[in-house]
Amino acid sequence: MTMTRFPLRVSRRHALVSLSALAASCALPNARAQTPDASRSILMVVQLDGPNIAVDRQIAAHLQKRGYQVQLVNQDFDPTGASGSDLVVISSTVSAKDVPAGWRTSPVPLLTWENDLLDDLAMCGKRHDVDFGETEKERYLWLVNAPHPVSAALPAGVANVFRKQAPMSWGKPGLGASIIATIYGQADKAAIFTYEKGATMDYEALAPARRVMFFMDNDSFTNLSAAGLRLFDAAIDWAARAPSVDKTA
């Protein structure tokens, strides 16, 4: 009896192992499809010796965990050196006066939450507190463009993006922009907006590549709610993808 049942146990065990391996191999492509391409590189412009460098490093660690290669460079970095990157991120920890002017015409996609740079980048007008600025204490955004990928599949309407009230950056973009969200109760202040490559920005400038404005402040990243973090990730992913790849934009 023992000799006849033992091979059967082995056979069943081998069958289970084979089925498990098959299931795992079938699941792998889907898991990979939901993760950013590990070959995508982000150049993050920060103030390396600034008081908020710890937050910038947290953002870099978050992006690396999501599969991006991230390099931190100082605010005076020459824009021509970014040609090999898939995305440039300019933190609000920079001092706008120390950031070179060449980012305006850089052919590399760019995302920033430094509202003082929006006019230099031709993403909005030149008047502080009129064309761009920062609110004091806010917690909610009004999502107005739910079909856009940067809306992170969140429904249109009110979104709680901060865990507690904090300053928010905003701008009034040019006619070619896609406004994703405005500050709640202040429809004239765009908190998240994008430009597709070739879109008309301010001063009749054409976007040389994708451009994104996000609503954060120097230390806001650690204050993002789950919805806020989804919007951040969606903004990064959209900006880093070539238009020919992203068919939904």
- Structural domain including 233 reads 36-240
Q: Residue 177 — φ and ψ, nearest 5°?
A: -80, 155
Q: Is residue 6 part of a domain?
A: no
Q: Is residue 10 part of a domain?
A: no
Q: Is residue 246 part of a domain?
A: no
Question: What pTM, to 2 d.p., does this model score?
Answer: 0.83
pLDDT (tens digit per residue) in 13-62: 443 333 333 333 333 333 333 455 567 999 999 999 999 999 999 999 99
Distances (CA, A) of 123 to 33, 73, 102: 32, 23, 14
Q: Is residue 14 part of a domain?
A: no
Q: Is residue 21 part of a domain?
A: no
| Burial zone of 238 (CB within 10 Å; 0-12 exposed, 13-18 middle, 19+ buried) | buried
Q: Is residue 219 part of a domain?
A: yes
Find the CATH number of the domain harbouring 170: 3.40.50.880
pLDDT (tens digit per residue) in 97-120: 999 999 999 999 999 999 999 999
